[in-house]
């Protein structure tokens, strides 16, 4: 199983009394943001369209474009707005008289004015219309899911590859931690010896202080938590449910442990490796933004 990408395209068609086409494009978004373009006469169906889309897609910016071609048997009826036409006519006639012109207003010109001649909406059963649109819509949504799954599998492969590199760097830091801690303890002992220069010190108190220092420099807990986060990351990638937000939160936990490690061990090599871990985390985070 794999999570799904939020980048996809799907197209559906239905041939009934008329031919419907539905095209859907989706890109990454923090929430489920659905935009619909549909002929104005069917705008009242937008609620049903959104509800249906939400059954298939839970996250992303989703643009749905719906168009249709009238069937051959569908008659076109024109409606003339006579009161508006008369108003235009009288207005133009008065203007001609004011300008001293004798000819009557051109009706062909008036017919081109907005709202004079419009296409009358034929009577139809909206339930039947919705059934036709829904068939094309579901086909487009299914196509989107197919592409989202394919993109998700490809993205999963890239994430696992990058996570393996992240894991390698973490292992290198873990392998060097005991030696780094030993060197730090030796350096502190040498420094204390120079500062005290023959002054008697209680061995028990010295051992206690060294233990406190070792605890402050120990990154075992951070490494354990980081490895746990890595395993959790892998588990999420095997989940077909939406995991984008959970992985994004996990990236914050990655950075928290990396920053703590960097602050605990003042070693240039380790700091360099933690910088690499931060860079890898940001790259992982960028890719995660495309997951549903």
Instruction: Say yes or no: 169 and 284 in one domain.
Output: yes
Q: What is the DSSP letter of 5?
A: B
Instruction: Say yes or no: 44 and 23 in one domain.
Output: yes
Specify the pLDDT at position 212: 60
Instruction: Say yes or no: 254 and 161 in one domain.
Output: yes
Instruction: Say yes or no: 273 and 167 in one domain.
Output: yes
Question: Which domain, by its residues, includes 69?
Answer: 8-73+124-149
Q: Evaluate whether 54 touches 84 at the Cβ level (below 8 Å).
A: no
Strand locations in 132-270 (E): none
Q: What is the rounded distance in angstroms from the CA atom of residue 70 to the CA atom of residue 119?
A: 13
Specify the pLDDT at position 269: 80
Residue 2 lies in a domain: no
Instruction: Say yes or no: 62 and 91 in one domain.
Output: no
Q: Evaluate whether 1 touches 122 at the Cβ level (below 8 Å).
A: no
Residue 229 reports pLDDT greater than 70: yes
Specify the pLDDT at position 121: 65
| Confidence bin at 195 (pLDDT 50/70/90) | low
φ, ψ at 102 (rounded to 5°) = -95, -20
| Confidence bin at 117 (pLDDT 50/70/90) | confident
Count of CB atoms within 10 A of residue 4's CB?
30
Instruction: Say yes or no: 178 and 228 in one domain.
Output: yes
Count of CB atoms within 10 A of residue 49's CB?
20
Query: 208 in helix, strand or coil?
Result: helix
Query: 137 in helix, strand or coil?
Result: helix
Specify the pLDDT at position 158: 93
Residue 177 lies in a domain: yes
Query: 32 in helix, strand or coil?
Result: strand
Specify the pLDDT at position 39: 92
Residue 98 lies in a domain: yes
Instruction: Specify the range with the lowest mean pLDDT, choosing from 9-13, 50-54, 74-78, 264-268.
Output: 74-78
Q: H or E element: which one contains 35? A: strand 32-37
Residue 30 lies in a domain: yes
> pTM for the complete prediction?
0.71
Total structural domains within the chain? 3
Query: Tokens 């040498």 belong to which residue?
Result: 190
Q: Evaluate whether 22 touches 137 at the Cβ level (below 8 Å).
A: yes
Mean pLDDT of the chain: 86
Query: Tokens 């392998």 belong to which residue?
Result: 175
Instruction: Say yes or no: 139 and 269 in one domain.
Output: no
| pLDDT, tens digit, 9 for 90 and up, residues 62-89 | 999 999 987 665 666 788 888 988 888 8
Residue 1 lies in a domain: no
* Nearest partner of 274 among 175, 166, 180, judged by Cα: 166
Instruction: Say yes or no: 128 and 166 in one domain.
Output: no
| Confidence bin at 32 (pLDDT 50/70/90) | very high
Instruction: Specify the range with the lowest mean pLDDT, choosing from 12-16, 108-112, 176-180, 209-213.
Output: 209-213
| Confidence bin at 213 (pLDDT 50/70/90) | low
Instruction: Say yes or no: 143 and 169 in one domain.
Output: no
| Confidence bin at 29 (pLDDT 50/70/90) | very high
122 token code pair: 């034929």
Residue 3 lies in a domain: no
Query: 118 in helix, strand or coil?
Result: strand
Residue 93 lies in a domain: yes
Instruction: Say yes or no: 140 and 31 in one domain.
Output: yes
| pLDDT, tens digit, 9 for 90 and up, residues 131-166 | 999 999 999 999 999 999 999 999 999 999 999 999
Residues 6+ apart with CB under 8 A from 291: 3, 4, 5, 6, 152, 155, 242, 243, 244, 247
Specify the pLDDT at position 115: 86
The residue that leads in pLDDT, 210 or 64, is 64
| Confidence bin at 20 (pLDDT 50/70/90) | very high
Instruction: Say yes or no: 132 and 183 in one domain.
Output: no
Instruction: Say yes or no: 266 and 169 in one domain.
Output: yes
């Amino acid at each position: 199983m794999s999570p799904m990408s939020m980048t996809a395209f799907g197209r559906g068609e239905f041939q009934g009394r008329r031919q419907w086409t539905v095209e859907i494009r989706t890109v990454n978004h923090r929430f489920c943001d659905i935009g619909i373009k549909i002929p104005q006469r069917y705008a009242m169906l937008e609620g049903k369209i959104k509800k249906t889309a939400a059954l298939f897609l839970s996250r992303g910016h989703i643009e749905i474009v719906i168009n249709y071609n009238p069937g051959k048997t569908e008659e076109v009826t024109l409606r003339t707005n006579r009161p508006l036409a008369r108003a235009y006519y009288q207005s133009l006639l008065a203007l001609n008289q004011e300008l001293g012109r004798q000819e009557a207003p051109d009706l062909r010109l008036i017919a081109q004015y907005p709202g004079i001649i419009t296409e009358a909406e034929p009577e139809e059963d909206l339930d039947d219309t919705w059934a036709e649109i829904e068939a094309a819509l579901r086909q487009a949504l299914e196509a989107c899911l197919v592409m989202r799954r394919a993109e998700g599998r490809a993205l999963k492969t890239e994430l696992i590859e990058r996570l393996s590199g992240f894991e390698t760097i973490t292992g290198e830091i873990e392998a060097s931690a005991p030696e780094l801690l030993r060197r730090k303890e030796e350096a502190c002992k040498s420094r204390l010896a120079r500062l005290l220069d023959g002054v008697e010190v209680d061995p028990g108190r010295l051992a206690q202080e060294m233990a406190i220092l070792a605890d402050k420099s120990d990154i075992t807990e951070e490494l354990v938590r980081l490895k746990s986060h890595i395993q959790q990351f892998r588990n999420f990638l095997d989940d077909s449910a939406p995991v984008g937000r959970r992985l994004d939160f996990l990236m914050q936990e990655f950075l928290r442990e990396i920053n703590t490690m960097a602050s605990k061990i003042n070693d240039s090599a380790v700091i360099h490796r933690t910088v690499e871990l931060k860079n890898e985390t940001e790259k992982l985070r960028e890719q995660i933004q495309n997951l549903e």
